[in-house]
Amino acid sequence: MRMRREDRFWQIEPLLGKVTHPARYLDHEWGAHEEQDGPFHVCMIYADTYEVGQPNLGIAILYNELNKAEGISCERAYLPWVDMSSLMRERGVPLLSLETSSPVASFDIVGFTLAHELVASNVVETLDLAGIPIRAQDRDEDDPLVIAGGPSAWNCEPLCPMFDAVLLGDGEEEIVDVARCVRDARAEGLNREQILLRLAQVESIYVPALYDIVTDETSTRWGYAVPREGTGAPEVVYKRCIPDLAASEPVAQRMVPYMGIVQDRFAIEVLRGCARGCRFCQAGMTYRPVRERPAEQVIEAVQEGLASSGYDECSLSSLSTTDHSQCELILRELNERTRDTGVRVSIPSQRLDSFGVDMASAVSGSRKGGLTFAPEAGTQRLRDVINKNVTDEDLERAARNAFENGWRRMKLYFMMGLPTETDEDVVAIANAAKRVLQIGREVCGRPRRGKSGVTVSISVAVFVPKCFTPFQWVGQLERDEVRRRQQLLLQSCDDRDIHVSYHDSDVSVIEGALSKMGRKGFDVVLEAWRRGCRFDAWSDQFHYDVWLEAGRAVGVDLEEAAAETFPLDARLPWEHTSPGVNKGFLQREWRRAMEGVTTPDCTMTSCTGCGVCPTLGVSNVIAGDRHGG
């Protein structure tokens, strides 16, 4: 029987003295919504610890929109750390919401943000701790509807058995439509099956239970999904796309935490979408088209957010902030308005080809930390393969500009295992870092007494093929070969002022397998959780051998799954959902990649034929002069 919100006899306070970071579980942060009367209640969950999930802008946006809607209230929940979850199970305390300490199982809707593939086991853990049946098919009329959305929802098949519905695309309007649909259906007395049928008629809502998995000569071994006859579910569910970002609330993150969190600063989304067309980048394909927030709105929102939160740093967030046509104007105006206040305006990373002397000065303000650039590959040949339209000259120019404007630390992001990569490309990563360091020493002076004021850090991720990208058909580089190339890179970086870090190849294998598998992948996820896997994104909690054993137990070789290649004409496990980018465009981009031919940014030139705008009825929205700023 479903727990009632009134049954709040569980007490979390007696447990706080027995766990690490008890502030994770404190409610009533400054800026949280105080009124939670409903009568329709939604709980949004980030399935990781509070300090990781609290700054998530996606959760904040949906939280605000639901609480603005009449008759609907929204609370939040996060996954307790292993010490607290063990105590809760021992004392019989279920997962509770943060705002009112209500059982999560008592809500009408429970929603998950799928931020990355490794959240999989945490979603299982969250449902189990909440007392909600893990499989959607096992829930009864009193259980909440469990939904999901977010950046990793595009191949949600390995997690689909847990979800009643999956929201695709921009969620601001979508989440409210779902809540109203479920509320009205329950008011009419519809049962769970009937509610799912009605949800399938809502734009951009995928209801997994209404689709069968078919495996035939046209598919991969994972099969593809087709709507069950008579359900009215669409053959392809297209994403929801907000046509104008300026029409949305600019200040989303209003809550001030009691503890230090990751990204502990005020953040504002200044731009959504990216048309640069990097062929490895899923977000660049799935968030199209580009929609810029006007400079005036950004500037006013930053001032409001800083004043209400008390933060002394603001992050201008997007996939590529320096591509904003009014970025320089925004930075200069913000620096002028925050002068002598100690406030720092930051940008997550800077594109090499849009970072000149003027932009360098605008970003820095009065405080200079480190600068981050993402060349992604060490050679021009490989950058052309991945459509990273920057050159060695761009990198050198950006580095010189930065050092001349007072920076002493620079971080460079690269990827390893990209299609067609050779040992020469790996060594070129080290050479690029050496060249940047050389420029820094030319500008800032040579090292003295074995030390230099200039340092260059390189961070190298393992390439993981993702759905809805031109590289979705390729296999991931095998684990042993990744490790060999990592050692080659380390041997090539022989200067003490070049610091190298790289991603764990074991983690990348699991991420790659989950990115490629179909619905059968849920058997692996469930078995891994049963064997103790959770918090897999935390290095000290990740257990590679346990994941491999879980895969073998259900008949799946995870290393083989990650390295698997798909025929270019195969029906893929995720093709019943779509961000609007058509398959023909992705196939064409794959062929151009193999030829080393680049494709321009459609906001700079003309339409490149990705299909998003005509399919979804939207277009790029550029706030200013794209070429002049």
pLDDT score recorded for residue 291: 98
pLDDT score recorded for residue 357: 56
Q: How far apart are CA 141 and CA 148, in angstroms?
A: 19
Peptide bond into 22 cis (omega under 30): no
pLDDT score recorded for residue 462: 98
Q: How far apart are CA 444 and CA 408, in angstroms?
A: 8
Q: Please indicate whether residue 1 or residue 63 has the higher confidence score (pLDDT).
A: 63
Domains of the chain: which residue ranges? 13-238, 245-520+556-616
Q: If you count them, how many residues does the chain have?
A: 629
Find out whether 307 and 290 touch, Cβ atoms under 8 Å. Answer: no
> Dihedrals φ, ψ of 151, to 5°?
-60, -30
| Average pLDDT of every residue of the chain | 93
3-state class (DSSP) for residue 405: coil
Evaluate if residue 361 carries a pLDDT over 70.
no
Give pLDDT tens digits for 572-618: 999 999 999 999 999 999 999 999 999 999 999 999 999 999 999 99
Give pLDDT tens digits for 244-272: 999 999 999 889 999 999 999 999 999 99
Which token pair is 581? Answer: 């980018």
Percent pLDDT > 70 in the chain is: 94
Give pLDDT tens digits for 214-237: 999 999 999 999 999 999 999 999
pLDDT score recorded for residue 2: 44
Q: How far apart are CA 424 and CA 431, in angstroms?
A: 10
Comparing C-alpha atoms, which of 410, 389, 391, 414 is closest to residue 401? 410
Q: What is the SS3 string spanning 411-468?
A: EEEEEECCCCCCHHHHHHHHHHHHHHHHHHHHHHCCCECCECCCEEEEEEEECCCCCC
> Dihedrals φ, ψ of 302, to 5°?
-60, -45
Q: Confidence band (pLDDT; 50, 70, 90) for 629?
A: very low
3-state class (DSSP) for residue 491: helix
pLDDT score recorded for residue 342: 87
Least confident stretch, 1-5, 269-273, 619-623: 1-5
Positive or negative: CA dihedral 310, 313, 314, 315 = negative
Which top CATH class is 13-238?
A: alpha beta
Consecutive H or E run containing 272: strand 271-272
Find out whether 573 and 155 touch, Cβ atoms under 8 Å. Answer: yes
pLDDT score recorded for residue 612: 98
Comparing C-alpha atoms, which of 255, 265, 245 is closest to residue 346? 265
Q: How far apart are CA 623 and CA 325, in angstroms?
A: 6
3-state class (DSSP) for residue 509: helix
User: 13-238 and 245-520+556-616 share one CATH topology?
Assistant: no
> Dihedrals φ, ψ of 226, to 5°?
-130, 145
Give pLDDT tens digits for 426-449: 999 999 999 999 999 999 987 666
Strands 313-317 and 409-416: unpaired
Which token pair is 517? Answer: 């598998």
Give pLDDT tens digits for 166-183: 999 999 999 999 999 999
Interval 511-523 mean pLDDT = 98
Q: Could you name the CATH architecture of 245-520+556-616?
A: Alpha-Beta Horseshoe (3.80)
Least confident stretch, 186-190, 406-410, 527-531: 406-410
pLDDT score recorded for residue 445: 85
Q: What residues have CB less than 8 Å from 489, skipping those under 6 apart?
A: 416, 426, 427, 429, 430, 460, 500, 502
pLDDT score recorded for residue 358: 64
Q: In what order do the strands lie in the sheet with 344-346?
A: 266-269, 313-317, 344-346
pLDDT score recorded for residue 10: 63
Which token pair is 505? Answer: 């190849």
Q: Which residue has the tokens 């002397």?
A: 357
Strands (E), 291-397: 291-292, 313-317, 344-346, 370-376
Evaluate if residue 422 carries a pLDDT over 70.
yes
Comparing C-alpha atoms, which of 396, 323, 334 is closest to residue 364? 334
Beta bridge partners of 571: 219
pLDDT score recorded for residue 138: 98
Q: In what order do the strands lie in the sheet with 370-376?
A: 370-376, 409-416, 455-462, 498-502
